[in-house]
Structure formats: C-alpha cells, structure tokens
Chain A
Amino acid sequence: MNAGLLAVWVILGYLALLIGIGMLSSRFGRGTSADYFVASRGIGPVFLLLTIFGTTMTAFAMVGSTAEAFTGGVGVYGLMVSWSGLVHSLCFFLVGVRLWAFGKRYGYVTQIQFFRDRFESNGLGLVLFPALVGLVIPYLLVGVIGGGKSIEAITAGALPAVFAATKGGIPFWLGSGVVCIVVLIYVFLGGARGATWANAFQTLVFVVLGVVTFGVIEDKLGGFQKATAMVAEHNPAHLKFGASAEDHAVFEAQMAAFQAGETPIKPREPESIPPLIFLTYFFIPFSVAMFPHLFQHWLTARSAKSFKLSVVAHPLLMAVVWFPCVLIGVWATSAVFEGKAVIPPDFANANAVLAVMVRKLAPPVLGGLLTAGVLAAIMSSLDSQFLCVSSIFSNDILAHYVGHDRVTDRQKVFAGRVFVILIVAITYGLGLWLSESRSVFTLGVWCFTGFAGLSPLVFAALYWKGATKLGAYACVLTTVGLGLWMCWQSDFGAKADYTVFGMMPVAPLIIASTAALVFVSLVTPIVSPKTLERFFGKQHAG
C-alpha cells in the first residue's frame, strides 16, 4: 500500500470515529433544544478547557501558522500567540464568566438574546444577525480551505488512476466536502454535547500529534540544532522579527549559489515586521470576546469555577501547539533531505507546507495521523460554528419572531439544521472559488478583525451602564461599514499586506467602533432602571 493510500485509510478511520462519538453522545441527549444547543449547561472544567481551546484553534493554528512562518519567519509567534495568550484569557476572565452567569440566570442560548435584553432592542438582533453570520462564513472558509488543502497534499499518490489531475491525491472539492459532511453528521447527532465531546477528543489529538510530528521531523532533518543551523545559513531573516542589510546580502549570495547549482535551497526574500504592525496585532485577539461559537461554549459551563482552568491553561496550550508549527514552517524554508530541498523552489502554496513536510519526512502512518490532527484542529472549530449558526437562526430569528411558545423544540432544531446546511453550501462554494487565491492566514485575520471591531460592544454591555441602544447600533454599523470598506480596499483579502496608516486594519476599526459607541451613548438615553438592575444589580440601577 502506498503512503498516500495509507493516509486515506487513516483519515477515513478517524472520520468514522468522530461519527461514532456523535452517535454515542446522542444517547445522553435529553431531547430538548437547551440540551441540543448548550448541553444543559453541564460541562466541567477539563472538557470546557479542551473544547474552548479546540474551538479557538483551527486551520489557522496548524496550517496557517506553518504557512506564515514559512513565508515570513518566527515573528508570527509574536503576532499571534504571545498576544493571544494575554488577550484571550483576559476575555475569558472579564467577558466569558459574566456572560455565562447571565446566560445561566436568564436562560440565554445565544449572544443576540443577551444583547437584545441588555439594550432593550429587538432591532439590534436584526443588525447583529447578518453581521455575526457574515463573519462566521470566512471563519468557516478557513477550515474548509485548510482541510481540503491538507487532505489533497498528504494523500498525493493515493489513487493516481482516479485523480490524475492531483497526482493521485484526494482533490480539494472532495476532501473539503467530506469534512463538511462528517462535521454536519456528528453535530446533528449530538448537538452541543456531541460537539464538546468531539472537540475535547480532537484537541487532545492535535496537541499530541503536533508534538510527535515535531520530534519526527527534527530527527529527519538531523536534529534540532542542524535544522535551525540550515535556516541560519540560507534564510537567517526567518529566525528574526526584522531583516537587516546583512540579511539582504546573505539573500543575494544564497540566490547566486542556488542559480549556480551549488545548493538546492532557493532563499526566500527577507521580510520585516514593521513595529506598528507588531503593536497593532494586539487588537486581533479581542475577537474572541465576540465569537458566537465561543459564547455558546461558555454557556455550556456547569459553573463559574469551571472557567478557571481555561483562563490559566489557554496561553500554555497555545504555546504547545504553535511553537512546533512555527519552527516546522521556518525549518521548511531551508530543509534538505537526501540531497534535495524538502519544499521545492518556487513552491507557491504555503498552506500545504506542513502537509508536504509530513509527507516527505514522516512515516506514512504518522502522515495520516497528523492529517487527522490537522483535521481535528479544523473540525473542532467547524462543529462549534455550525452549531452556533444553527442556534442563532432558530432562536433569534425563527422562535423570536414566530413566538417561542409556537415553535416546538423539535422544530427549532430542524430549522437550525436546514439553515446551517444552507450556510455550509455557501461556504463550500466560496471555498472552491477562493482556495487558490486566498491564504488561510489572511482570511483568518480579516475574520478576526471584524469580530474584534464588535468587541467594544460586549465590554460596554457588561461594564458600562451608560451604554445605550443607539450606541450599540452605532458600534455594530460602524464595524460593518468601515470593516467592509477596508476589506474591499484589500481586494477581499487578496492584498495580504494591506494596512491603514501603517497599522493593521483592526486598530482603526476598533478605535472607530469604540468612539461611535461612546459618543452616541453619551448623547442618547440609557436603558430603563429595571434593565440596569437586571444586569448591574440594585445598587447601580438608580
């Protein structure tokens, strides 16, 4: 059996296992929509940690981090991981626990229910609904593209007679389609409980396999020190955050050596991270405060105390997952195995770097298992996103406007499933269209930018009783309007290096949405004392 075919069997076995988890979790279901959407609020600290972590890590974490490190060097760790370690946990601590408490106390299942009550506005839900669903779609795209690309790369050579165009690999359209269908099946079977169980399992899978793969690859490259030494020789700028004149001189010399046939490594153009970009990446991780799928997982917690483990361990788990992926991406720039460059010169598909490294350097079984790990990272986000999109439609549109007492739990769940199938079909179509022209990393950053732009809304809702309904509208509309304009300016993510006054677009977006929220709130009436008492307690209601 060839390596590609073995990988196909490992992937199929893994997908079957996930469906089994969905079937098993469905046996514990209580048949109510509260159980389907928030697992009856009974998830403990360990499952909460694993599921929240698995949900925030997607193709972005494994495929995107390796791709970005391959393209730009180790700086991606500083941009994403060390910032996120600080800010994600800050959001869990300041936002997640309090939202859980309100969800538990008032029976919320979605974000929109909370915001409608807090700002005494039905209409706010109608503005938030397209904004949240519209932002979830590019996040889904990250998973669909990352999954399809990884499967195609790792299964190369599996079925050459059937898939000649992809050198025998499972083509993108088929791999990404199967991933979507499997996730839909286990989410439909097990709801939030199924997603949580699958997430916890998959988080363990991708954390462990990521570390194992790291060890295997460094061994094949001659050890940790040799792997890094090769980068220092051919692409030293990839080991730093900034490129110097000396790095450009090395680039010229190495390019001349490559053209003369003296080395199989074609050097990569040195890149620097401008200080303002490095600083303004700080705002990106605030997106987690507004992820609707994360909100839904927060609501599944059994108690406030269940959050403690997530708050503390999240930055550490991020380091465990990203550190190996970043180094693998950097090593890939200069890796030589059996006299040939592991990544061919002029290799353009950075999203496939991790898969190619694994296929060429790891045993076939591990290659298949690692693909399962990458899929685990991807699917542990997709399932939560499918579930939240389904929940938002059922609860915030259907039941809200038809009447909660006129829609049965069964009808809610059914309608949610139909809606999510529609969204998945749209995403799948977009994935087929954009898979060659957009990087997973850039798509992810744009999606996070939009959610981060909305984050002042949730902080104000929880901590500022002066925040008003019209202020909330202003915040959402500013984010949508300005965000869409900037995204359009970047050719919808095609210009990966698009900045605004030298900053990440998220910085002006979050400043503008905060300013709109504060300014409009200061000149419009605040909510009723009854609502203030509901959310801030009696002492603050006057």
Chain B
Amino acid sequence: MKVLLGIFLLALIVLHQDFWWHDRYTPLIFGFVPISLAWHVGISLAAGLLWFLAVTLAWPHELDAVEAEGGDQ
C-alpha cells in the first residue's frame, strides 16, 4: 500500500509540472478561473485525497500506543 501511495505522490509531482498549460489561460473554468490555476487547485484537492488515503491505509499504528504510555518519562 505504501508503494501505491508513493506512486500517487510521484504522479502528483509530475502532474504539477503542467507546462502544457503554461502558454494559455483558456478555457476559463466557470468563466473566470484560468485553466492553469484551476489545474493547480485540482492538485490541491488531489493532495487532500492522497493524504486521506495515507492516514486511512498507511497510518503508523504503533504510535497510537504512545498516548497510553502516559508519556513525559
């Protein structure tokens, strides 16, 4: 699962290099958001999804036990 999440992260890093939009601002999404800006807002949303999957599927459960240890030893 960690490998798949890593691939997802790498894919977003590659998609971030959206040179294919750099020379244009059309189409305007909703009539006012330039395409490159909309693309990057999409990257932000995809990042939210990535990290949702990470905390759901790859959470370090061993750290949950630290709370029960009482801490501040």
**Chain A contacts to B: CB under 8 angstroms:** 34, 41, 74-75, 77-78, 81-83, 85-86, 89-90, 93, 97-98, 100-101, 104-107, 224-225, 227-228, 232, 236, 239-242, 244, 272-273, 275, 278-279, 282, 302-305, 307-308, 311-316, 318-319, 323, 326-327
Contacts and interface: CB of A to CB of B under 8 A. Distances in A.
A175 to B, nearest CB: 32
Contacts of A98: 60, 63
Contacts, number: 143
A41 B47 contact: no
25 contacts: A81-B44, A82-B41, A82-B47, A86-B43, A86-B50, A100-B63, A104-B69, A105-B69, A224-B30, A224-B32, A241-B36, A242-B23, A244-B23, A275-B19, A278-B17, A302-B67, A304-B67, A305-B67, A308-B59, A312-B48, A313-B48, A315-B48, A316-B44, A323-B41, A326-B37
Given A97-B63, A224-B32, A315 B47 contact: yes
Interface residues of B, number: 42
Given A305-B67, A315-B44, A327-B33, 17 more contacts: A77-B41, A78-B18, A85-B48, A97-B63, A104-B72, A105-B66, A105-B69, A239-B37, A241-B22, A242-B23, A273-B22, A302-B67, A304-B64, A311-B51, A315-B48, A316-B45, A323-B37
B57 interface: no
B28 interface: yes
B37 A74 contact: yes
A533 B13 CA distance: 35
Top-5 shortest CB links A-B: A239-B25, A104-B71, A85-B47, A224-B32, A242-B22
A240 B37 CA distance: 8
A374 B28 CA distance: 29
Nearest to B71: A104
Interface of B: 9, 12-13, 16-19, 21-25, 28, 30-34, 36-37, 40-41, 43-45, 47-48, 50-52, 54-55, 59-60, 63-64, 66-67, 69, 71-73
Contacts of A81: 40, 44
A312 B55 contact: yes
A224 B31 CA distance: 8
A86 B47 contact: yes
B5 to A, nearest CB: 10
B34 A239 contact: yes
A107 B71 CA distance: 7
A98 B59 CA distance: 11
B37 to A, nearest CB: 4
A78 B43 CA distance: 9
Contacts of A90: 9
Contacts of A225: 28, 31-32
Contact of B54 (A275, A302, A311): A311
A228 B50 contact: no
Contacts of B71: 41, 104-105, 107
Contacts of B19: 275
Contacts of A308: 55, 59
B69 A74 contact: no
Contacts of A239: 25, 34, 36-37
B32 A77 contact: no
A531 B32 CA distance: 57
Given A98-B63, A240-B25, A240-B34, A312 B44 contact: no
B22 A240 contact: yes
Contacts of B45: 315-316, 319
A239 B25 CA distance: 6
A313 B48 CA distance: 6
A460 to B, nearest CB: 18
A236 B25 contact: yes
A376 B44 CA distance: 23
Contacts of A313: 48
